[in-house]
A and B are shown apart, each in its own frame.
Chain A
Amino acid sequence: MDFDLTDEQRMLSESVNRLLTHAYGDFEHRKGYRAAPRGFADANWQALAEMGLLGLPFDEADGGFGGGPVETMIVMEAFGRGLVLEPFLATVVLAGGLLRRAGSEAQREAILPSVVEGSMVLAFAHQERQARHDLHDVATAARRDGADWVLDGAKGVVLAGDSADRIIVSARTSGARRDREGISLFLLDPATPGVTRRGYATQDGLRAAELVLEGARVPADALLGHEGQALPLIELVVDEANAALCAEALGAMDVLRDLTVDYLKQRQQFGQAIGNFQALQHRAADMLVATEQARSMAMYAAMMVQSGDAAARRTALSAAKALVAKLADQLGKDAIQLHGGIAMTEEYKAGHYFKRLTMIGTLFGDVDHHLRVVVAAGGLPEAV
């Protein structure tokens, strides 16, 4: 039992936070980044690359840093504090997580070095409109045609899908829409004929895309991993994404709580700071309780996502995501309420944190979905 960070992890945390203070310390900067063509700052992406963060979980042989879930947690918590726009989750955690595990040597060599140096953004296109949160629900089809694969279908809310230079697409190579078997992964160049994408802003200021595949033809070597066997890997990577989102939510919750408490000390009404009122003090205290519970669950997620027992891992990650999302929702709403009118303005920071927390709550499974997973498993796994 040990909660200490190693020296390397402490250094990682310090340097990420230093970078973000520089890039995101002035909230006005974020507005500028959003207006850029890709919806984030090229310079920030390069800075992340120079720090080695874009290869954080990759093997050293692939040019990476060899980091694990704790390193990802440290980075994502800092990103949550800064409300970072750069597509680390999509590129490194999601698509990178699939590629580094399922990719052949040739596939990894073709892509990972470009990711590490910051010249390539990746996305993972899995979500389909009818599937909602069921990862095994895949209607998009891939059929063999000579040496090629031909993809047909539609993918939705693909994070960073509009700026991605390569997209990993899940498609069914056999079986029926809701079968666990028969799902495969393909590496897709979005410039391929038959691929159309419609990029858009999301409510939290990030970017995503709808992807339509109409007879999109990819070569045989675009298949990533074993044919028809992708679901367990998709589940693992989505668990990793949820662990990362728990950490991001925690960082955002910490900032939002501090912002609220500071405001309670400054705002004068009835001739005194509103923080003198007990009704507000107790809600602020509950915000602290919520962040500490969320911090514990983010750590639990980082721990359990490494578990070799896939069923225990899935249940634990659902438990973590359900509670963090519930606490984030409660804290976000309280932050707006305790601020009052000022937090309703677009200009003020609090609303942006609230919006990101709200979207984290729905990404990769909402509270109800994850609670259902825990219920179906009969409760939490025994071991820590």
Chain B
Amino acid sequence: MDLRYTPDEIAFRDDLRTFFKTQIPAEIRRKVSEGRKLSREDIVTTQRVLHAHGMATPNWPLEWGGKDWSPVQRYIFSEEIQACAVPQPLSFNVNMVGPVIATFGSQAQKERFLPSTATLDIWWAQGFSEPGAGSDLASLKTTAKLEGDEYVVNGQKTWTTLGQYADWIFCLVRTDPAAKKQQGISFLLIDMKTPGITIRPIITIDGGHEVNEVFFDDVRVPAENLVGQVNKGWDYAKFLLSNERIGIARIGLTKERLARVKRLAQETPAGEGMVWDDPDFRRRLAWSEIELKALEITQMRVVAAQRTKASDKPDPSSSILKIKGSEIQQQATQLLVDVAGPYAMPRPDREEEGLNLPSVGPEWADAAAPLFFNYRKVSIYGGSNEIQRNIIAKAFLGL
């Protein structure tokens, strides 16, 4: 047992670190570090740099631009890209629809979609959640009815992250209304420019426009855009979500955030000293660091186990990573609000009114509270933490 990286793994990490810090524009990395909103261009620019170096889609099959990295190398990549405050390749493209098409799609679909999915020439959105189908995703109601060689889609998707930038959306749709829940669902690719699609922004409590509602009103989709077999979409969705396992805890990112909290606490005056001199603050920060260390090792154990273990038996690890990872991410954003103190209050940046006034306090403090508000989402999305506890209790503890 040795928790340290081997010299080869250290060399691999150091190469990545140099690459990230020299090839990704510093301004983009600064935005990530400060938790500011990234523009569409920031994300596209980054992904194209990564793609030019063969690093946009490391988890894809080799023939479609993947890397034959070991589980440890994949883990190092995931951690290091976060720790260097580099925007990760767009998850909808790279972790979700890409692997589904590469695994279950037709040859024609692969050739049509995979290259432009890798380069972000197609920006994908995820059309899973609906107003009545959140944690209970399988109760989704959006229908796709085959008429000739077209599906006619009707219904509504919601929480569509960055849907305002999307060229295409991959949707779970009900193709057999008579079948029981999971059984009548298919996986359909829809061009966002198709007539009958309306997108409406949802402004979240941080004031940002990150998510959307998407309405489908007699949207006609070529039948060839159905991935895999009809009524098997639920299996593909489960496959897609299992790809999220590595990196779901976002440990690298939280590490970087906590280091920044520490730095800012040392620079932010508080009475006779700095925020850093407050022992209560320091204790809370220490707890976050300690819990993060435990989670990091938990994640490393999961990665190491992937080398040897067959993955078909129930495994609670992704639920554990989700629960603890989201809690610690939220703690880090809260600590940042605490460091900002009274200057967490001013709100010069009012996106929905098109206003972007100069900062009142320190510039970094503007983003502190919005980030904290925004991060309440991380214990809700991807299967809420309560759903994760249900999974642990039922699938692993047998309750």
Interface residues of A in 275-309 (CB under 8 A from B): 275-276, 278, 280-282, 284-286, 288-289, 292-297, 299-300, 302-303
Q: Does residue B392 face the partner (Cβ distance < 8 Å to A)?
A: yes
Known: A293-B324, A375-B279, A384-B3. A300 touches B397 (CB 8 A): no
Q: Does residue A270 face the partner (Cβ distance < 8 Å to B)?
A: no
Query: How many A-B contacts at CB < 8 Å in the complex?
Result: 132
Partner pick for B300 among A1, A284, A285, A319, CB 8 A cutoff: A1
Q: Does residue B285 face the partner (Cβ distance < 8 Å to A)?
A: yes
Chain B residue at minimum C-beta to C-beta distance from A377: B286
A1 to B305, CA, bound (A): 11
Interface size class for chain B?
35 or more
- How far in angstroms is the closest Cβ of chain A from B251? 12
A1 & B389 in contact (Cβ 8 Å cutoff): no
Chain A residue at minimum C-beta to C-beta distance from B285: A379
Q: Does residue A83 face the partner (Cβ distance < 8 Å to B)?
A: no
Q: Does residue B390 face the partner (Cβ distance < 8 Å to A)?
A: yes
Chain B residues whose C-beta falls within 8 Å of the C-beta of A371 in the assembled complex: 283, 286-287
- How far in angstroms is the closest Cβ of chain B from A366? 14
- How far in angstroms is the closest Cβ of chain B from A55? 21
B393 & A2 in contact (Cβ 8 Å cutoff): no
Interface stretch among B4-12, B46-54, B141-149?
B4-12
B304 & A288 in contact (Cβ 8 Å cutoff): no
Q: Does residue A11 face the partner (Cβ distance < 8 Å to B)?
A: no
A384 & B4 in contact (Cβ 8 Å cutoff): yes
- How far in angstroms is the closest Cβ of chain B from A153? 33
B392 & A285 in contact (Cβ 8 Å cutoff): yes
Q: Mark A223-266, 1 if CB is under 8 A from B, else 0.
A: 00000000000000000000000000000000000000100110
Interface of A is mostly: helix
Chain B residues whose C-beta falls within 8 Å of the C-beta of A265 in the assembled complex: 398-399
Interface residues of B in 280-298 (CB under 8 A from A): 282-283, 285-287, 289-291, 293-298
A289 & B300 in contact (Cβ 8 Å cutoff): no
Q: Does residue B2 face the partner (Cβ distance < 8 Å to A)?
A: yes
Known: A374-B290, A379-B285. A3 touches B399 (CB 8 A): no
Q: Does residue A85 face the partner (Cβ distance < 8 Å to B)?
A: no
Chain A residues whose C-beta falls within 8 Å of the C-beta of B3 in the assembled complex: 1, 3, 299-300, 303, 384
B305 & A275 in contact (Cβ 8 Å cutoff): no
A103 to B305, CA, bound (A): 41
Q: Does residue B201 face the partner (Cβ distance < 8 Å to A)?
A: no
Q: Does residue A70 face the partner (Cβ distance < 8 Å to B)?
A: yes
A120 to B68, CA, bound (A): 56
A380 to B288, CA, bound (A): 10
- How far in angstroms is the closest Cβ of chain A from B154? 35
Interface residues of B in 49-90 (CB under 8 A from A): 72
Q: Does residue A5 face the partner (Cβ distance < 8 Å to B)?
A: yes
A266 to B210, CA, bound (A): 47
Partner pick for B294 among A278, A281, A297, CB 8 A cutoff: A297
A297 to B287, CA, bound (A): 13
Q: Does residue B205 face the partner (Cβ distance < 8 Å to A)?
A: no
Chain A residues whose C-beta falls within 8 Å of the C-beta of B289 in the assembled complex: 319, 374, 379-380
Q: Does residue A323 face the partner (Cβ distance < 8 Å to B)?
A: yes
A371 to B284, CA, bound (A): 10
Q: Does residue A160 face the partner (Cβ distance < 8 Å to B)?
A: no
- How far in angstroms is the closest Cβ of chain B from A370? 9
Chain A residue at minimum C-beta to C-beta distance from B266: A378
A335 to B259, CA, bound (A): 36
A281 & B389 in contact (Cβ 8 Å cutoff): yes
B2 & A1 in contact (Cβ 8 Å cutoff): yes
Known: A278-B390, A380-B290, A384-B3. A288 touches B301 (CB 8 A): no
A302 & B392 in contact (Cβ 8 Å cutoff): no
Chain A residue at minimum C-beta to C-beta distance from B386: A282
Chain B residue at minimum C-beta to C-beta distance from A273: B399
A281 & B2 in contact (Cβ 8 Å cutoff): no
Known: A285-B389, A299-B3. A293 touches B397 (CB 8 A): no
A281 & B320 in contact (Cβ 8 Å cutoff): no
Chain A residues whose C-beta falls within 8 Å of the C-beta of B386 in the assembled complex: 282
Chain A residues whose C-beta falls within 8 Å of the C-beta of B300 in the assembled complex: 1, 3
B283 & A375 in contact (Cβ 8 Å cutoff): yes
A285 to B314, CA, bound (A): 14
Chain B residues whose C-beta falls within 8 Å of the C-beta of A383 in the assembled complex: 4
Q: Does residue A28 face the partner (Cβ distance < 8 Å to B)?
A: no
Q: Mark B123-137, 1 if CB is under 8 A from A, else 0.
A: 000000000000000
Interface residues of A in 326-384 (CB under 8 A from B): 371, 374-375, 378-380, 383-384
Q: Does residue A105 face the partner (Cβ distance < 8 Å to B)?
A: no
Q: Does residue B262 face the partner (Cβ distance < 8 Å to A)?
A: yes
Chain A residues whose C-beta falls within 8 Å of the C-beta of B305 in the assembled complex: 3
**Other A-B pairs, 20, CB within 8 Å; known A275-B399, A285-B389:** A3-B1, A3-B301, A4-B308, A261-B398, A278-B390, A281-B390, A281-B393, A281-B394, A285-B388, A285-B390, A285-B393, A288-B316, A293-B298, A294-B294, A296-B301, A299-B3, A299-B301, A380-B290, A384-B3, A384-B296
Interface residues of B in 1-46 (CB under 8 A from A): 1-6, 9
A1 & B4 in contact (Cβ 8 Å cutoff): yes
Q: Does residue A157 face the partner (Cβ distance < 8 Å to B)?
A: no
Chain B residue at minimum C-beta to C-beta distance from A286: B389
Q: Does residue A89 face the partner (Cβ distance < 8 Å to B)?
A: no
Most buried by B among A296, A299, A302, A303: A296
A261 & B397 in contact (Cβ 8 Å cutoff): yes
Chain B residue at minimum C-beta to C-beta distance from A297: B294
- How far in angstroms is the closest Cβ of chain A from B188? 34
- How far in angstroms is the closest Cβ of chain A from B27? 27
